[in-house]
Amino acid sequence: MTDPALATEYRLTTEEGLKRFIARVLEKVGVAAPDAHVVADVLAASDLRGIESHGVARLESYYVSRIKSGKMEAKPDVTVRRETPTSIVLDAGNGLGHPVSKRAMLAVIEKAKERGAAFGAVRNSNHYGIAGYYAMLALEHDMIGIASTNTVRYGAPTFGKGLMLGTNPLAFAIPAGKEPAFVLDFATTTVPRGKLEVYQRKEKPLNPGWAIDAEGHPTTSAPEALKGALLPLGGFGIDNGGHKGYGLGLLVDIICGVLSGGAFGNELPLPNQPAEPGKISHFFGAFRVDGFRDVTDFKRDMDEELRAFKSSEHAPGAERVYVAGEIEHEKTLAHRRDGIPVHAKVWNGLEKMAGELGLPFDIERT
C-alpha cells in the first residue's frame, strides 16, 4: 500500500490470518468451529471487498459481546420450519446470522439446481454481515442470487417521523463471463446511520435528504439527525423519489420479517436499546440462467453489457463509469495482493479483546 494515510492509520493482515483470528475468537466464546469459520469467511469477505463497516470491525460489538452477555446463543438450536422442493424456512434459534444464512442460501441453490428456481427465509436470527455474500454464493452455479435482511430500526417512512424501518439492504448477484460479476448490494436508506456518527465527530453538516430530526423536519445537523431518523433512498417527501426507497425498505421488511414468520415492523429492535434476541429475519433466492438462455450466450452478452456501461462517456470531473460490484472486486484483488487494511483503532480493539479472552493476539501482519 503506497497511500501514506493507509500506512499510518491502517494495519495490514492476510485473508487467512484474519479468518483464523475471527474463528478462534468465536470458538473461544462457545461457537462451534464450523459456524465460527462461516462467520470468519463472511466478515473477511466484507473487509476484502473494502466494506470495512461490516467486517472484523464489528466482531466484538455485534457478535462476541452479545454472545458473552447471553443476548445471542453461541450454539443455537436451528430448526427447519417449512420446506418444499422450491422453498425453505429456518428458525435460527437466536444464533449468529451468518451460519444459518449460508445454510439457507446453499439449500436454496440446491433446490434451484433441481427445480430451476427457489427461495428461502430465516427468522429468529441476528445480524448476518453483508447481504452480497449470500447472493454471490449463486454465481459459481450460473444462477442469479438474491439476498436481503431487515435490521434494527433507524429510518422513517415517507411522510412519517417514527423509527419504523431498518437500513434493510437488498443484494443481487448476476454472473458474467470475463468481466467480474454484477453485484448490487445496497441499503434502502439514503445513508447508513454510521455516516451520521462520522459527520457528528467531524462536526460537518449532513447532505439534505439524509435524515430528519425528532420532530420530523429535514435536518442537516448530525446531532439532531441522530435523535431523529434516516430517510429512505430518494430523500425527504416524494419529490426526489423518497417513496420509492421507502417502498423498497418496506418490501424488505415484508419478504424477510412477515414471510419468514419472524419479527417485523414495530417488533424490530430500536437503536441504542439493549439487544433483543432473534428479532432479525433474512430472505434468499436463486434461479438458473439456463432457464432463459444458454449460459455461454448469456455470459458473452453480460460482458458486452457491463463493458458498454464501463466505457460509456463520463461526466465532467468523473474518471469513468463503474458497474455494481466492480470497485469491490478490484479491492478484493488488491487486498489479496497487498494485504487487508484494518483501521488502527479496530486493530487495537481486537488486541484488547484477544487479551480479555485470554487468546494470543497473533493475527498475521503482512
- Report the site for a second copy in 34-63 (rule: CB under 8 A): none
CA 9 to chain centre: 24
> Minimum Å distance from CB 310 to a second copy?
9
Q: Are 159 and 183 a contacting pair, CB within 8 Å?
A: no
Residue number, 89 or 346, with CB nearest to a second copy: 89
According to CB under 8 A, which residues from 180 to 209 bind a second copy? 182, 184, 186-187, 190-191, 207, 209
Q: Which three cell numbers stand for residue 34?
A: 464450523
177 binds a second copy (CB under 8 A): no
DSSP state letters, 73-141: -SS---EEEEEETTEEEEE-TT--HHHHHHHHHHHHHHHHHHHSEEEEEEEEE---S-HHHHHHTTGGG
Q: Which of residues 325-364 bind a second copy (CB under 8 A)?
A: none
Q: How far is the CB of 170 from a second copy (least distance, A)?
A: 9
**Contact status, residue 100 vs residue 88, Cβ threshold 8 Å:** no
C-alpha cell at 119: 427461495
CA 296-299-302 angle, to 5 degrees, is: 155
Buried b / exposed e along 323-346 (16+ C-beta atoms within 10 A): bbbbebbebbeebeeebbbbeeeb
Work out whether 250 is an interface residue with a second copy (CB under 8 A): yes
| Binding segment toward a second copy, per CB under 8 A, in 11-19, 58-66, 82-90, 347-355 | 82-90
CB of 38 to a second copy, least distance (A): 23
Nearest to 102 by CA among 21, 179, 41, 23: 41
Which of 22, 144, 196, 230 is the binder for a second copy (CB under 8 A)? Answer: 144
Judged by CB under 8 A, the residue of 39, 136, 212, 230 near a second copy is: 212
The single residue among 292, 336, 345, 355 that binds a second copy, judged by CB under 8 A, is 292
Q: Which is nearer to a second copy, 56 or 211 (CB)?
A: 211
Task: Show contacts with a second copy in window 6-35 (CB under 8 A).
Answer: none
Selected binder of a second copy within 65, 141, 277, 322 (CB under 8 A): 322
Interface residue with a second copy among 97, 245, 278, 341 (CB under 8 A) is: 245
Contacting residue, 55, 257, 278, 341, with a second copy by CB under 8 A: 257
Give residue 70's region: left, alpha or beta (phi > 0; psi -120 to 50). left
Is position 71 an interface residue for a second copy (rule: CB under 8 A)?
Answer: no
CB nearer to a second copy: give 58 or 243.
Answer: 243
* 3-state SS, residue 351: helix
